[in-house]
Amino acid sequence: LSVAELVEHSIKRISDTDDKIGAFLTLNEEGARKDAQALDARLASEGERGLLFGIPTGIKDNIVTEGLRTTCGSKFLENHDPIYDAAVVTKLRAAQSVTMGKLNMDEFAMGGSNENSAYRVVRNPWDLERVPGGSSGGSAASVAAGQVYFALGSDTGGSIRQPAAYCGVVGLKPTYGLVSRYGLVAFASSLDQIGPITKNVEDSAYVLQAIAGHDERDTTSANVEIPDYVSALTGEVKGLRIGVPKEYLGQGIDPQVKERVLEALKVFESMGAVWEEVSLPHTEYAVATYYLLASSEASSNLARFDGVRYGVRADNPANLIDLYRRSRSEGFGAEVKRRIMLGTYALSSGYYDAYYKKAQQVRTLIKQDFDQVFEKFDLIIGPTAPTAAFKLGEQVGDPLTMYLNDICTIPVSLAGVPAISVPCGMADGLPVGLQIIGKPFDERTVLRAAHAFE
């Protein structure tokens, strides 16, 4: 099989399905064909293969790609062609995968259903009347629909794991700092991480291998040795100690989701792992803490979209302030404005101590909850999301309910630890995700357990 054939297959699959699914914002058809040709030629001459040689892939549209339109799901960047590649894109190029295009998402990664995309809805391939989750909804739906073999997503409070759960695929959020954020359009810099969305755990290990690693251009990039992730997949979980937070199986969790998680724990038990109920007592404050901190950081990060440097610029402005105001009013959607206003309020003088500082203190308590459990346990396991995919439109008018979908993923993001979502059966014909959470930089154990279970 040549790379060209593989790429043609992907192009055909995209053209057959994407009218319905809506995963792609920009297709890189000609670029992908050119890359395929070059890879086939190289194979013929040198016979040398990168780790992801010839694999058609999709990239979430908040990861910049040189000369390939990058919109962040926003009208603000409708015509934005970046002048450089993100670190992960450079790494994928080195691993010789083929970029098929840019994937739909909630505007600036703010959302949990992909309904905040300024362009089009993404439909869940399992049921076209349902959301694919978000904000990496395009990435998860594209992999689930077989358009690409893997995709990159980004996760700030659940945006890789939750859509992976809703679409029945595998989504890994690495430890904060493991993967460079250079070239990821910043939403909440202290939380944002890029990670793989794949069909299975082995693929996840391969893609992580290709994209992890220290990068001087990202000041929060961790300078750690990158282990071999693929060799961690031994199938062995005997003696592994698993903590199951009672807060993740309590109120608000769909009974069928809970049932699937308990069944999964039985599988682990049968393979020789042991589990016990534990407590992460500050879980109830996590969603409020996250929305305060993430919005504060977003209000600062999005200040760069001023109508001067990037994207939309209002016509005939009366003066500079008018240019800022109108460009931002026209360019941003409702949810982005809501977050900017919330964050600006929380950071304004006189409120800072009451809100931002307080939230940072609670974040520390949440992180300590995890530290304490990890003194005795190797992994923490629970559901990825409280329910399976909900119907399109169902939660649009109700941001608070929408925010609660991330109750199980947000604490993990605040703690900065790694977690994977793997499919664990169905609820009423829709996939359910199992979340496996690990110690900082212990992706090997997370992947090992996920692989043994899958």
| Catalytic residue annotation | 60, 135, 159
Pick the closer one to ligand GLN by CB: 74 or 135: 135
Stretch that binds ligand GLN, among 20-28, 151-159, 300-308, 317-325 (CB under 6 A): 151-159
Task: Examine residue 384 and tell whether it contacts ligand GLN (CB under 6 A).
Answer: no
| Distance of closest approach, residue 138 Cβ to ligand GLN, in angstroms | 13
Q: Which of 77, 94, 198 is nearest to 146 (CA)?
A: 198
Please identify which residue in 137, 157, 243, 423 interacts with ligand GLN, judged by CB under 6 A.
Answer: 157
Strands (E), 213-349: 241-245, 274-278
| Distance of closest approach, residue 297 Cβ to ligand GLN, in angstroms | 11
The enclosing H or E element of 173 equals: strand 170-173
The one-letter amino acid at 85: D
Pick the closer one to ligand GLN by CB: 92 or 292: 292
Please identify which residue in 97, 135, 221, 301 interacts with ligand GLN, judged by CB under 6 A.
Answer: 135
- Restricting to residues 402-441, name those near ligand GLN by CB under 6 A: 406
Pick the closer one to ligand GLN by CB: 119 or 206: 119
Number of H helices, E strands in the chain: 14, 11
Pick the closer one to ligand GLN by CB: 39 or 294: 294
Distances (CA, A) of 6 to 2, 216, 222, 266, 336: 7, 35, 35, 39, 38
| Distance of closest approach, residue 125 Cβ to ligand GLN, in angstroms | 20
| Distance of closest approach, residue 104 Cβ to ligand GLN, in angstroms | 14
Tokens of 442: 């212990």
Ramachandran sector of residue 55 (left: φ over 0; alpha: ψ -120 to 50; beta: rest): beta
d(CA 132, CA 196): 16
Please identify which residue in 70, 74, 114, 156 interacts with ligand GLN, judged by CB under 6 A.
Answer: 156
Stretch that binds ligand GLN, among 154-162, 222-230, 244-252, 326-334 (CB under 6 A): 154-162
| Distance of closest approach, residue 266 Cβ to ligand GLN, in angstroms | 30
Pick the closer one to ligand GLN by CB: 231 or 401: 401
Q: Mapping DSSP to helix (H, G, I), strand (E, B) and coil, where does residue 106 land?
A: coil
Pick the closer one to ligand GLN by CB: 22 or 157: 157
Query: Kind of pairing, strands 379-383 and 241-245?
Result: parallel
| Distance of closest approach, residue 393 Cβ to ligand GLN, in angstroms | 17
Q: By beta-carbon distance, which residue lies closest to ligand GLN?
A: 159
| Distance of closest approach, residue 109 Cβ to ligand GLN, in angstroms | 4
Pick the closer one to ligand GLN by CB: 113 or 147: 113
d(CA 133, CA 439): 26
| Sequence-distant (≥ 6) Cβ neighbours of residue 49 within 8 angstroms | 43, 96
Strands of the sheet with 170-173, listed across from one edge: 24-27, 98-103, 56-60, 150-155, 193-198, 170-173, 419-427, 430-438, 379-383, 241-245, 274-278
Site string for ligand GLN, 181-210 (x = CB under 6 A): ------x-----------------------
- Restricting to residues 309-368, name those near ligand GLN by CB under 6 A: none
Task: Please write down the HEC assignment for all residues of 43-101.
Answer: HHHCCCCCCCCCCEEEEECCECECCECCCCCCHHHCCCCCCCCCHHHHHHHHHCCEEEE
Q: Are 218 and 355 in contact (CB under 8 A)?
A: no
| Sequence-distant (≥ 6) Cβ neighbours of residue 52 within 8 angstroms | 92, 95, 96, 97, 206, 207, 210
| Distance of closest approach, residue 382 Cβ to ligand GLN, in angstroms | 17
Residue that the structure tokens 């054939």 belong to: 5
Pick the closer one to ligand GLN by CB: 137 or 307: 137
The enclosing H or E element of 430 equals: strand 430-438
Stretch that binds ligand GLN, among 8-16, 20-28, 150-158, 215-223 (CB under 6 A): 150-158
- Restricting to residues 72-111, name those near ligand GLN by CB under 6 A: 109-111
| Distance of closest approach, residue 324 Cβ to ligand GLN, in angstroms | 24
Q: Are 125 and 133 in contact (CB under 8 A)?
A: no
Pick the closer one to ligand GLN by CB: 55 or 286: 286
Please identify which residue in 23, 244, 294, 419 interacts with ligand GLN, judged by CB under 6 A.
Answer: 294
Task: Examine residue 158 and tell whether it contacts ligand GLN (CB under 6 A).
Answer: yes
Q: Which of 191, 172, 418, 179 is nearest to 289 (CA)?
A: 191
Please identify which residue in 22, 101, 112, 174 interacts with ligand GLN, judged by CB under 6 A.
Answer: 112
- Interface with ligand GLN by CB under 6 A: which residues? 109-112, 135, 155-159, 187, 294, 406
